[in-house]
Amino acid sequence: MATQRLNIENIRPEVRDAQYAVRGELATRAEEYRERLEKGDKSLPFDKVIFANIGNPQQLDQKPITFFRQVLSLLEYPALLEKEDVLKSAFGYKQDVLDRARTLLKGVQSIGAYSHSQGAPLIRDSVAKFIEERDGFPTDPKNLYLTGGASSGVSTLLDVICADATSGVLVPIPQYPLYTATLSLLNAHCVPYYLEESKAWGTDVHAIRHSVLEAKRHHIDVRAIVVINPGNPTGASLSPDDIKDVINLALEENLVIIADEVYQTNIFMGEFTSFKKRLSQLQQEFPGKYDGVELASLHSVSKGMVGECGHRGGYFELVNFDPEVEAQIYKLQSIQLCPSVIGQCLVELMVNPPKEGEPSYELYSQEYNGIKDGLKQRAFALYEAFHKRMAGVECQKPEGAMYLFPTITLPPKAIWAADRADKRPDEFYCLALLDATGICVVPGSGFGQKEGTLHFRTTFLAPGTDWVDRIIKFHEEFMEKYK
């Protein structure tokens, strides 16, 4: 018998100890402000809350891509397909929208039915084709697992990989806190490796080796390495050489590579190279040598120009995994039955959008490029603001993803004030920013940062640039107050 009711002391300690800042105190307070404003509260010094704390494009008025949503509307109510002419004339649905909806319905039968736990076969075929075309190497749909966003894929993979309390996983710092939180839940070690801020937040393989050695000294069995490329929160994009270095390290150390590639289309400089492509190239170049390198790469409908976070769609691909281990991953996925089927269909649409010459192509590419250009413009506008117009703030040039992660240098008085308020300095700064402007960002401590440095992460999703001016004004006043 349980000796007492559930309380904070007797629940699973791994749950209690897990940290997840993205939706922590700041987010909660921002939501309270939003509700107050909605109810007509005029006492706040701003009239709108800007959620720059989370990569949630459609909350910030990014419009969904028409082709995707037209198809999904037909999947929800297939009876619409009975009057093609009306759909076309009254609502502008094109023939390829109707065709795609029919194909998907044939593949999943009804989006209200459970699919295969790994994802509907037809959809995995499309994803395989997409990866083949992106990378120029074959992909077997049997190695693909559709998921409810990338987060649930990460959780599944780490659950299998982390055997026990001696297991460790290399995680970049700063990182997206899903990784540390999930490792906490599994009672496994996060083995941090620091990204080089001075080298545009690049991945330094020497730093990783150092972390591996440190972990070994502590008898940690390092089993995998997480790479987020393009980076969250850093916005860095890895070169083919950087990727090769990580693959070589994984080969030497028998590490599973977990490549979080959800920002693969959010690239502003250069070109995205996938881990799958680089690994396949190396396998081709050095036959046999790399066949033991295990790679799991993840993608999602939440980011990129799709921005469909609420639909919870994603997938991961397994490369060079032992089939017996794959069977365990399948079993684990099957316990949760299947990911949302409409989310799966959206994955299909993302990887197989209208092609040139098809009826929906023009509008699709116009919308897609419009979003991409807007993101790039705002990324650089924000970068310029941080870089040039704010004293004590430095920022790396944005290469990819949806975030900037500037360093802030705060005066001692501000640090003392934070201490008196029982807050970390970066948290104190971000709370003050929220209170003054309604702009919600996340303190660097939520992602990890080198001892003695302070940062915050902001998305550049919010439309317009007047909010950037509000940050600048707040920063001036804050620095003045605590100088």
* Window 343 to 382, contacts with a copy of itself (CB under 8 A): 343
Q: Which stretch binds a copy of itself (CB under 8 A): 161-169, 226-234, 278-286, 400-408?
A: 161-169
Q: Name the β-bridge partners of 257.
A: 225, 295
**DSSP string for 246-265:** HHHHHHHHTPEEEEE-TTTT
| Sole binder of a copy of itself in the list 337, 356, 391, 452 (CB under 8 A) | 337
Binding mask 413-442 toward a copy of itself (x if CB under 8 A, else -) reads ------------------------------
**∠ CA 333-339-345, rounded to 5°:** 135
Q: Is 80 in the site for a copy of itself (CB under 8 A)?
A: yes
Chain position carrying tokens 């969904």: 64
CA distance 221 to 167: 5
CB of 387 to a copy of itself, least distance (A): 29
Kindly tell me which residue out of 44, 105, 122, 160 binds a copy of itself, with binding defined by CB under 8 A: 160
> Residue 68 CB: number of other CB atoms within 10 A?
24
Site for a copy of itself in 163-202 (CB under 8 A): 163-164, 178, 181-182, 185-186
- Residue 403 beta carbon to a copy of itself: minimum distance, rounded to whole angstroms: 15
Which residues, numbered 53-72, are part of the site for a copy of itself (CB under 8 A)?
54, 56-59, 64, 66, 69-70, 72
Residue 132 interacts with a copy of itself (CB under 8 A)?
no
| Neighbour-count burial of 42, counting CB atoms closer than 10 A to its CB (0-12 exposed, 13-18 middle, 19+ buried) | exposed
Q: Report whether 478 contacts 73 (CB < 8 A).
A: no
Q: Smallest distance, Å, CB 356 to a copy of itself?
A: 24
Q: What angle do CA 138, 143, 144 make, to 5 degrees?
A: 100
d(CA 395, CA 119): 41
Residue 106 binds a copy of itself, judged by CB under 8 A: no
Cβ at position 171, least distance to a copy of itself in Å: 15
Tokens for 84?
A: 């093609």
> Half-sphere exposure of 296 toward its Cβ, with a 13 Å CA cutoff?
25
Residue among 173, 207, 282, 325 that touches a copy of itself (CB under 8 A): 325
Nearer to a copy of itself, 112 or 270 (CB): 112
Residue number, 197 or 348, with CB nearest to a copy of itself: 348
